[in-house]
């Protein structure tokens, strides 16, 4: 008994990383692997939203891509550089009591894995780097629009060891596709070992010291919009992939306009495999969310989806954007497997649990299982407890209970002995 509990704890600590880790691989033995890290600084959304788009909308056809989009997740939720101090100053040594200890140690393990050929750390930096001081935005202390290297080349032989040459090639290509001329990219060599005491504690210097080529991509915080930052980040990452011989397909046009659309796509959340939310136009707060008192499993399709429990509520985030607050209603875990039979606009359909469907005029749930009760949230019919076998249209529903700001999406929930066991979501067109 003790043994199995011990094993279980080991397994969870092994597999529950404090960040997302996405692998896109074609051939791990013979082709290079690029590791892209976003979100070391929680107030630099250009970096982490780029990593998220990279993981959702790129396919790798040759070589391998590893992505950690949300390294410092608690700081991303707060849109704070580092709620436990600057994580990028904890890579040389770290206090064993430091709240970032696990994150730093786990990413160090990933960086030093044999398979990793090159590391990119994504940032949004202040201003626009210029060798001459022009003003507070354009000057030699600015980090924006730079490719940062710790030294000209690695100490030992490596196929991608000439950092200065690689950064120069990437910059040349970036500077051929600028949205405005003053966005041009330069190299900032911090010459860390000799000149920069603080950078010795950074992620890139840790990598370089372990013979892993590493670069920081710094797009400017002073660019006009988030899509601009993501545009330059993704363009830079593509340049690195090309230089490394990693081939990819991207499912959208790389322009700030298309990026803007992708950034507003929050996708879906499934809780405990039974409760489903489409996060598009979600209301700021939702009530009576069936949860367990502990051990809830939140599955987001968006790589920057996360939850924070605060004051009895569950706050839902996509990156630094708080999407909604869920007020729970606690239930014992029950599950209704399979699907729900529903007549949608006169046509019989089987809707799998924890998915959604569209209706134009109305729907009617057919309940074949006498142990299950149907509860349509926002619908009341005098004297009826099981709301199956009734035709329900949009006008029959109380908009107070819709989950979305357009009042068109409603929850159809299934109960077993008064405990929630699954749901489907209806959207009226
Ligand atoms: Zn940063």
Which residue is associated with the tokens 């809780």? 271
Q: Are 66 and 33 in contact (CB under 8 A)?
A: yes
Mention every residue, 6+ apart, whose C-beta is less than 8 A from residue 197. Answer: none
Mean pLDDT for 202-220 is 98
Mean pLDDT for 360-385 is 91
pLDDT bin (cut points 50, 70, 90) of residue 11 is very low
Q: How far apart are CA 28 and CA 64, in angstroms?
A: 7
The token pair at 418 is: 């008064």
Q: How far apart are CA 415 and CA 218, in angstroms?
A: 51
Instruction: Say if residue 282's pLDDT is above 80.
Output: yes
Neighbouring C-beta atoms of residue 391, cutoff 10 Å: 12
Q: Are 321 and 306 in contact (CB under 8 A)?
A: no
Q: What's the CA-to-centroid distance between 383 and ligand 1, angstroms?
A: 60
Q: What's the CA-to-centroid distance between 124 and ligand 1, angstroms?
A: 6
- Total H helices, total E strands in the chain: 9, 26
The token pair at 305 is: 């989806």
Which of helix, strand or coil describes residue 95? coil
Read off the pLDDT of residues 91-123 as tens digits, 9 standing for 90 and up. 999 999 999 999 999 999 999 999 999 999 999
Q: How far apart are CA 28 and CA 155, in angstroms?
A: 25
Q: Are 387 and 409 in contact (CB under 8 A)?
A: no
Please state the length of the chain. 429
Q: What's the CA-to-centroid distance between 88 and ligand 1, angstroms?
A: 8
Q: How far apart are CA 386 and CA 263, in angstroms?
A: 40
Q: Are 94 and 84 in contact (CB under 8 A)?
A: no
The token pair at 287 is: 């009530």
Read off the pLDDT of residues 16-41 as tens digits, 9 standing for 90 and up. 899 999 999 999 999 999 999 999 99
Q: Are 127 and 184 in contact (CB under 8 A)?
A: no
Position with higher pLDDT, 256 vs 14: 256
CA neighbor of 279 nearest in space, from 428, 423, 425: 425
- What pLDDT sits at residue 49? 98
Q: What's the CA-to-centroid distance between 386 and ligand 1, angstroms?
A: 54
Helix then strand then coil, % of the chain, to nearest 5 = 25, 35, 40
Mean pLDDT for 381-397 is 92
Q: What's the CA-to-centroid distance between 219 and ligand 1, angstroms?
A: 10
- What pLDDT sits at residue 12? 38
Q: What's the CA-to-centroid distance between 38 and ligand 1, angstroms?
A: 9
Instruction: Say if residue 195's pLDDT is above 90.
Output: no
Instruction: Say if residue 3's pLDDT is above 70.
Output: no
pLDDT bin (cut points 50, 70, 90) of residue 15 is low
Read off the pLDDT of residues 166-188 as tens digits, 9 standing for 90 and up. 999 999 999 999 999 999 999 99
Q: What's the CA-to-centroid distance between 243 and ligand 1, angstroms?
A: 24
CA neighbor of 239 nearest in space, from 24, 36, 29: 36
- What pLDDT sits at residue 333? 86
pLDDT bin (cut points 50, 70, 90) of residue 193 is confident
Instruction: Say if residue 8's pLDDT is above 70.
Output: no
Phi, psi of 134 (to 5 degrees): -105, -45
Phi, psi of 119 (to 5 degrees): -120, 135
Instruction: Say if residue 2's pLDDT is above 80.
Output: no
Percent of the chain with pLDDT over 70: 97
pLDDT bin (cut points 50, 70, 90) of residue 383 is confident
CA neighbor of 234 nearest in space, from 25, 53, 13, 370: 53
Q: What is the DSSP letter of 8?
A: H
pLDDT bin (cut points 50, 70, 90) of residue 405 is very high
């Amino acid at each position: 008994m003790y043994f199995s509990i011990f094993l279980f704890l080991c397994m969870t600590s092994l597999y529950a990383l404090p960040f997302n880790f996405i692998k896109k691989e074609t051939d791990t033995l013979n082709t290079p692997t690029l590791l892209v890290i976003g979100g070391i600084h929680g107030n630099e959304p250009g970096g982490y939203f780029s990593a998220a788009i990279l993981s959702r909308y790129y396919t790798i056809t040759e070589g391998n891509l590893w992505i950690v989009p949300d390294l410092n997740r608690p700081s991303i939720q707060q849109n704070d550089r580092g709620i436990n101090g600057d994580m990028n100053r904890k890579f040389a040594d770290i206090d064993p009591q430091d709240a970032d200890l696990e994150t730093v140690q786990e990413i160090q393990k990933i960086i030093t894995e044999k398979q990793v050929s090159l590391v990119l750390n994504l940032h949004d930096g202040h201003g626009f780097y210029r060798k001459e001081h022009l003003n507070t935005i354009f000057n030699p202390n600015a980090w924006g629009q730079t490719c940062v290297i710790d030294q000209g080349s690695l100490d030992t032989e490596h196929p991608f060891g000439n950092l200065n040459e690689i950064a120069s090639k990437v910059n040349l290509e970036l500077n051929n596709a600028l949205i405005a001329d003053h966005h041009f990219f330069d190299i900032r060599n911090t010459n860390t070992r000799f000149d920069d005491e603080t950078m010795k504690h950074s992620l890139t210097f840790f990598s370089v010291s372990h013979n892993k080529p590493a670069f920081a991509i710094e797009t400017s915080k002073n660019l006009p919009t988030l899509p601009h930052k993501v545009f330059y980040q993704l363009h830079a990452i593509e340049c690195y992939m090309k230089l490394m011989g990693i081939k990819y397909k991207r499912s959208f046009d790389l322009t700030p306009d298309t990026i803007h659309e992708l950034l507003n796509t929050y996708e879906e959340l499934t809780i405990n495999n039974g409760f489903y939310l489409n996060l598009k136009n979600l209301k700021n707060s939702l009530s009576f969310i069936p949860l367990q008192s502990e051990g809830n499993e939140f599955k987001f399709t968006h790589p920057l989806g996360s939850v924070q429990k605060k004051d009895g509520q569950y706050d839902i985030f996509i990156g630094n954007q708080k999407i909604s607050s869920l007020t729970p209603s606690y239930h014992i875990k029950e599950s209704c497997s399979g699907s729900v039979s529903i007549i949608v606009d006169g046509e019989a359909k089987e809707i799998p649990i924890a998915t959604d469907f569209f209706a134009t005029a109305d729907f009617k749930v057919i309940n074949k299982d006498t142990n299950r009760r149907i509860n349509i949230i926002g619908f009341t019919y005098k004297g009826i407890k099981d709301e199956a076998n009734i035709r329900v249209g949009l006008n029959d529903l109380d908009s107070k209970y819709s989950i979305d700001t357009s009042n068109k999406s409603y929850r159809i929930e299934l109960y077993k002995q008064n405990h929630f066991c699954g749901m489907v979501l209806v959207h009226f067109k």
